[in-house]
Amino acid sequence: MTQPKLNPRGSVSVIDLPVVSDPRGDLTFVEGENHIPFPIRRVYYLYNVPVDSERGGHAHKELEQVVFALSGSFRMKVDDGQTKSEYWLRDPRKGLYISRLVWREMDSFSQGAVCMVLASHRYEESDYYRDYKDFLAETQQPNQGVR
């Protein structure tokens, strides 16, 4: 497992979860503060997503998340304000950890894809950067290192 630093910013990493397989099927489990680096305060999921849909388009001031493709697949584009990269999520055993201050966009959903997100905080609109320019300005602030 790739263990992210505590409360980092601009950090994205893949978390491999355990799998227990037997002839009846596969079982994967996730424990807050064990497999993922924060207590889980919220779970949400996206489903019935049209294949041409684009989601995300924001960053968070404090929120940390781990994103899973429970079924199907989709693309996650991430941007820390300097470097852009992309991940294809398609394996329910792998979660994508996304720290605060990462701009994310999701697209290329397969038919019937289900995206589950484990989040470090409850929903709070004031935690969002929804304007890319505001996000970029924040990432260029000096002395905003790991807390």
For the bound state, the minimum distance from the C-beta of residue 46 to ligand TYD, rounded and expressed in Å, comes to: 6
Is 44 an interacting residue with respect to ligand TYD (CB under 6 A)? yes
| CA 63 centroid distance within chain | 10
Binding flag, residue 47, ligand TYD (CB under 6 A): no
Nearest CB to ligand TYD, comparing residues 58 and 94? 58
60 is catalytic: no
If one asks whether residue 55 binds ligand TYD (CB under 6 A), the answer comes out as: yes
Q: Which CB sits closer to ligand TYD, 17 or 76?
A: 76
In angstroms, the first-to-last Cα distance of the chain is 22
Q: What is the sign of the dihedral through the CA atoms of 87, 92, 95 and 101? A: positive
Q: Which residues within the stretch 56-95 sit at the binding site for ligand TYD (CB under 6 A)? A: 56, 58
Residues in contact with 63: Cβ distance below 8 Å, sequence separation at least 6, in sequence order: 100, 119, 120, 121, 127
Cα separation, 20 vs 112, in Å, equals: 24
Find the part of the chain contacting ligand TYD (CB under 6 A) among 54-62, 64-72, 76-84, 89-97. Answer: 54-62
Q: Which of 35, 58, 60, 121 is catalytic?
A: 58
CA distance 109 to 8: 28
Burial of 136: CB neighbours in 10 Å, binned 0-12, 13-18, 19+: middle
What is the footprint of ligand TYD within residues 118-147 (CB under 6 A)? 123
* Residue (35 or 104) nearer to ligand TYD, CB: 104
Residues at the interface with ligand TYD (CB under 6 A): 42, 44, 46, 55-56, 58, 123
**Active-site positions?**
58
